[in-house]
Every structure is written in C-alpha cells, then in structure tokens.
C-alpha cells in the first residue's frame, strides 16, 4: 500500500497544506489547538509518517549528528563512537555513521551525504594525512566542510584540523597530546630498558603516527638514549603483523634485547600475534608497548604497556559536550615491558 501523503492529511482535516505541515513537521508557528488536533487525528487515521527532511526545514534542526571514522571495527574508533552516541543521547539526537578507509576523498563523500540530510553537526575521527596521494582529496574535503559550516553546520574534528579548511565558525578541534604522551612513555621505558628501541609506525605523513614517533624520539633523547630505528607499515593490525613477521628472525638472532614501540595498540597486537608462531615470546624475548589503551587489551596477554587515552571522552568532546574535561593521558606500564621471563604464558 502506498504511503499516505501530507496533502491527504490536509484534505481529511479540512486545512491547508501549509497548516498541516506546521502541525506535523514541528514549526514554531502553531495554529489553534482545535485545528492542530484535527490534523493529528487525520494523520493517525491515515497512518501518515512525517518526512524527516521536511521536519528539519521546519525546525531548522534535523536532530542528526554525522560521525565519520576510518574503521568502526577498530576498537579505537568504536570507543570514540560510543562517546559521540552518549553525547547525542543527551542532546536528544541520533547518530548517522560512515566508516571510511581514511581517504580524504571518501570522507568528503560522507560529509556531502550528511549535509544533504541536513545533519546538525558532523564529527570526524581519524588521522589527518599530508601524503602526496591525499592532496586532491584534502582540498575537496576542506571545500565541502567549509561550505557546510557557511550554511550553519557544526564540525568537531579529533586530533588535527582538516588540512586546508578555512572555516572559523562552527568548527572545533579536540586536541590529543600525542607527542607529549609518547615522550612520557619513552622516558619511563628508558628508565628500565638498557637495550635498543625500535618504533613501528604508520606511513610517513599521517599526523597521529608522526606525532607519536616524534614524541617517542624526543623522550629517548631527553633520557640520553640513542634514537630508535623506525619501520613504516600499515597503520593497523595488519601492518603490525607484517612488521612482526619481518622482525622475528632478527629478534631471535640478536644478542641485544629489543624494546618495540608500536604507535597504536592494534599494531602492537599484530606484532605480538606474528611473533608467537615464530617462537618469539613477549616479554621473554623482547618488550613491546602500544598507545591508546583500547578496550580489547583487557583480554590480551601478556598485558600490554600503553598510553591510556579517554577515548569515550574524546567522542563526547567532539560531539560538543561542554561538561567533558580536556583530553589528557596516562602511561600504563604492564607485563609486556617487564624484565625477561622464561615463561611464555
């Protein structure tokens, strides 16, 4: 059966189309209560479902928040999404989700889709990139966001500003002290580890990864230690797994004990998973630390040293919750960076 239309509701109620729209779409201009009641009764009788976009026009608000993440299956992004959802619930809004590959061109498409649905605000979580292959995508994403903000939209970005964006109103950045926290992690690890350090990082040009590499190197330098070697790979679990496979023989044949810093937890998990089948055990044969303190770590063994970030708070801040404190973090040293043990359990 075809859906009932607003025109049919207006005819049954004996009112104009504009009056029926004002009643059912939430306009601030309300007709008399007896007329409004006739319209509502007609809508109930016909089973009319209001058009969300029409309601947005009438109210100047759609009640929607658009959320863009790189990969919702990644526990880092799912925790941020949970914070956005909590803030949205407090604001009586709903969240629309777009999970992209992290490419600025894909993010631009998501912004355009949310803008077309008149989302009140958009949250973007994921590392910004200045790689050459992302130059055009960055320009298009910045232009789309600037247009959205000029039309009254609000944007919250986690980490770094959108590359090239110029909007000054309706736009805020939730800053994460990645560099400072990575320096603190390096300082604590340098105090207990005498051997060399190695960093497993994402591709050069990813701001989040580069910040953490830079901070860790600074922390080592401040502790009087030599710079760590840096291996570049995918900024995800698969990238960590590939790096772990490449390191296995080196760890087994080296006389110096290696301490590995993977710039996020899922990479550290990937490294550890790759090393085990090769007979390399953490912390017996090497140490490893990550960054973020994702929820998955509660079930990961050995317990992973990392930097705790308040990921849900980051989501709430990005969604515009004014009662959430600024982002800070804490170094968490756990079994993965303890002194050598011959027990691989």
Cis amide leading into 283 (omega within 30): yes
What phi and psi, each to the nearest 5 degrees, are found at residue 227? -60, 150
Measure CA of the first residue to CA of the last residue in the chain; give whole Å: 63
In this prediction the pTM is 0.81
How confident is the model at residue 58, as a pLDDT? 45
Structure tokens at 45: 């009788």
Q: Which domains does the chain have, with CATH numbers?
A: 6-58 (1.10.260.40), 61-174 (3.40.50.2300), 178-310+324-337 (3.40.50.2300)
How confident is the model at residue 8, as a pLDDT? 83
CB count within 10 Å of CB 141 equals 28
**With contact defined as beta carbons under 8 Å apart, do 331 and 188 qualify?**
yes
* 168 contacts: CB under 8 Å, gap ≥ 6: none
**With contact defined as beta carbons under 8 Å apart, do 142 and 108 qualify?**
no
How confident is the model at residue 324, as a pLDDT? 83
* 238 contacts: CB under 8 Å, gap ≥ 6: 270
CB count within 10 Å of CB 75 equals 19
How confident is the model at residue 243, as a pLDDT? 98
- CA 203/CA 246 separation, integer angstroms: 17
Q: What share of the chain is helix, strand, coil (3-state, %, to 5)?
A: 45, 15, 40
Q: Which of left, alpha, beta for 169 (phi over 0: left; psi -120 to 50: alpha)?
A: beta
CA-angle at 98, arms to 92 and 102, nearest 5°: 135
Structure tokens at 1: 């059966």
How confident is the model at residue 41, as a pLDDT? 87
Question: What is the tally of helices (H) and strands (E) in the chain?
Answer: 12, 11
Averages of pLDDT over runs of 10 residues in the chain (345 residues) are 72 84 72 84 76 50 88 94 94 92 91 90 93 94 90 91 82 94 98 96 96 98 97 96 97 93 98 96 96 94 96 95 87 93 48
How confident is the model at residue 340, as a pLDDT? 74
């Amino acid at each position: 059966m075809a859906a009932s239309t607003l025109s049919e509701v207006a005819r049954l109620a004996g009112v104009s189309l504009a009056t029926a729209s004002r009643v059912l779409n939430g306009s601030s201009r309300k007709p008399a209560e007896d007329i409004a009641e006739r319209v509502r009764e007609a809508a109930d009788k016909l089973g009319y479902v209001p058009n969300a976009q029409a309601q947005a026009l009438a109210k100047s608000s759609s009640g929607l928040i658009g959320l863009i993440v790189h990969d919702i299956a990644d526990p880092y992004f799912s925790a941020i999404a949970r914070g956005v959802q909590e803030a949205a619930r407090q604001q009586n809004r709903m969240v629309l989700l777009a999970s992209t590959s992290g490419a600025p061109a894909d993010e631009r498409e998501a912004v355009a889709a949310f803008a077309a649905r008149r989302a009140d605000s958009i949250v973007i979580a994921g590392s910004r990139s200045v790689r050459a292959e992302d130059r055009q995508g960055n320009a298009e994403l910045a232009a789309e966001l600037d247009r959205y903000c000029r039309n009254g939209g609000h944007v919250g970005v986690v980490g770094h500003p959108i590359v090239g964006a110029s909007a000054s109103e309706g736009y805020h950045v939730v800053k994460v002290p990645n560099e400072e926290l990575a320096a603190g992690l390096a300082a604590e690890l340098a105090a207990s580890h005498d051997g060399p350090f190695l960093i497993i990082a994402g591709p050069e040009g990813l701001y989040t990864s580069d910040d953490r590499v830079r901070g860790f190197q600074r922390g080592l330098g401040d502790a009087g230690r030599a710079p760590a070697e840096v291996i570049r790979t995918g900024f995800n679990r698969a990238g960590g797994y590939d790096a772990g496979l490449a390191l296995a023989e080196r760890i087994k044949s080296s006389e110096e004990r290696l301490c590995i810093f993977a710039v996020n937890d899922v990479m550290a998990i990937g490294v550890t998973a790759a090393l085990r089948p090769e007979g390399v055990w953490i912390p017996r044969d090497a140490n490893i630390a990550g960054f973020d303190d994702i929820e998955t770590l509660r079930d990961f063994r050995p317990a992973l040293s990392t930097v705790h970030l308040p990921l849900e708070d980051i989501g709430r801040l990005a969604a515009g919750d004014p009662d959430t404190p600024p982002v800070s973090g804490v170094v968490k040293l756990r079994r993965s960076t303890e002194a050598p043990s011959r027990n691989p359990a």
